[in-house]
């Protein structure tokens, strides 16, 4: 029985869902949402905060500030509250309102960017705001999840070896690409220790991560409007791009079988489904990383009529076309 005094000390590492029964898909889903932060981002948040404390960057009176689409913001809110730091999350209007309220409930401040940068999109505008805040007051500490090596190291130390222990004969691993911390940590580990594992990155249509043109994206989490500094594509064997209507359909299919997952998970599962349809074979062992759960998406992905009702295009055309 786990007994903890710090909420970041607990994370369920060994839960997998066999999707053959739910979706007829030969895929094991590693569930990373069962901790007090509700997502895989707890791992990166703890690694980065611990390193900043060891290096003396974080001191009594420090205020963390970070750009986040939601899940990392919740994780840092939780850690800041438990360790006595302030926290300012800089996000944009795509962030789910339940996520904003959750951060505020944990004592954090939330700044919502309303206008995208002409070149860098919402992410560029968020980062510009973070830089301005840090320049205005030396108490602010930006961990910078986009280039902080603690982001990928957390998954090199935990996520990848945990998967390898559970699936010693793993053939293919599907990982969503946001900051690419999870992707790079897992890919580096398997490259070093299990070279035969094929690592497939799953990205959103409209993301520029792998050199595609930018487009409109409404589901927070995966995808970027600025190339992620952590990414080294030489570690990635394949890339699958998922249109947001497919993400929504996959999430709702899973919910129809009792599994309420978040938008990032729906994207990863949809991408894995696409890849396996073309490259799957009998006896293939495939695992996908599920970053989050679905409660924070009740007002978006799981609301009837979303996203058609918030788009300017014709709802019927939008339902059948990419959102990028």
Q: Tell me: the pLDDT tens digits for 261-315?
A: 999 999 999 999 999 999 989 999 999 999 999 999 999 999 998 877 655 444 3
pLDDT of 69:
85
CB 290 within 8 Å of CB 199: no
Q: What is the pLDDT of residue 323?
A: 31
Q: What domains, with CATH codes, occur in the chain?
A: 7-36+149-320 (3.40.50.1100), 41-142 (3.40.50.1100)
Select from 240, 158, 167, 168 the least CA-distant residue to 199: 240
- Give pLDDT, residue 311: 54
Task: Give the per-residue pLDDT at 187.
Answer: 97
pLDDT (0 to 100) of residue 154: 97
Residue ranges in 26-96 assigned as alpha helix (H): 41-54, 71-83
What does the block give as tokens for 68?
A: 């986040």
What are the per-10-residue average pLDDT scores of the chain (324 residues)? 90 96 96 96 97 95 94 97 97 88 96 89 90 95 95 98 96 96 97 90 95 87 87 97 95 97 97 96 96 93 81 39 30
What is the pTM (predicted TM-score) of this model?
A: 0.91
Cα gap 321→274, rounded to integer Å = 17
- Lookup result for tokens 């222990």: 165
Whether 199 and 216 have beta carbons less than 8 Å apart is answered as no
Q: Which residue in the block uniquely carries the two structure tokens 């860098």?
A: 120
pLDDT at 309: 62
Angle at Cα 318 formed by Cα 312 and Cα 321, nearest 5°? 135
CA distance 56 to 50: 10
Task: Find where tokens 């989050």 sit.
Answer: 292
Q: How high is the pLDDT of residue 159?
A: 98
Mean pLDDT over each residue of the chain, to the nearest integer: 91
């Amino acid at each position: 029985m786990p007994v903890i005094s710090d909420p970041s000390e607990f994370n369920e590492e060994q839960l997998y869902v066999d999707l053959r029964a739910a979706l007829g898909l030969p895929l094991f889903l590693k569930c990373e949402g069962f901790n007090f932060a509700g997502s895989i981002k707890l791992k990166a948040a703890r690694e980065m905060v611990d390193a900043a404390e060891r290096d003396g960057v974080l001191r009594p009176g420090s205020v963390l500030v970070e750009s986040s689409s939601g899940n990392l913001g919740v994780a840092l809110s939780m850690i800041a509250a438990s360790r006595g730091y302030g926290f300012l999350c800089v996000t944009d209007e795509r962030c789910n309102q339940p996520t904003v309220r959750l951060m505020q409930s944990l004592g954090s401040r939330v700044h919502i960017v309303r206008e995208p940068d002409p070149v860098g999109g919402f992410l560029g505008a968020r980062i510009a705001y973070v830089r301005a805040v840090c320049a205005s007051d030396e108490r602010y500490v930006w961990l910078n999840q986009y280039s902080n090596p603690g982001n990928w190291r957390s998954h090199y130390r935990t996520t990848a070896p945990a998967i390898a222990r559970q699936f010693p004969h793993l053939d293919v691993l599907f990982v969503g690409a946001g900051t690419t911390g999870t992707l790079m940590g897992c890919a580096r580990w398997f490259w070093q220790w299990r070279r035969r594992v094929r690592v497939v990155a799953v990205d959103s249509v409209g993301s520029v991560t792998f050199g595609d043109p930018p487009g409109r994206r409404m589901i927070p989490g995966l995808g970027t409007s600025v190339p992620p500094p952590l990414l080294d594509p030489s570690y990635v064997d394949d890339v699958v791009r998922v249109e947001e209507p497919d993400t929504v359909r996959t999430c709702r299919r899973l919910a129809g079988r009792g599994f309420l997952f978040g938008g990032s998970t729906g994207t990863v599962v949809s991408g894995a489904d696409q890849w396996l349809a073309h490259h799957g074979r009998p006896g293939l062992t495939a695992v996908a990383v599920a970053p989050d759960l679905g409660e924070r998406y009740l007002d978006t992905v799981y609301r009837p009529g979303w996203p058609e009702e918030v788009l300017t295009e014709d709802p019927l055309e939008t339902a059948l076309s990419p959102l990028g």
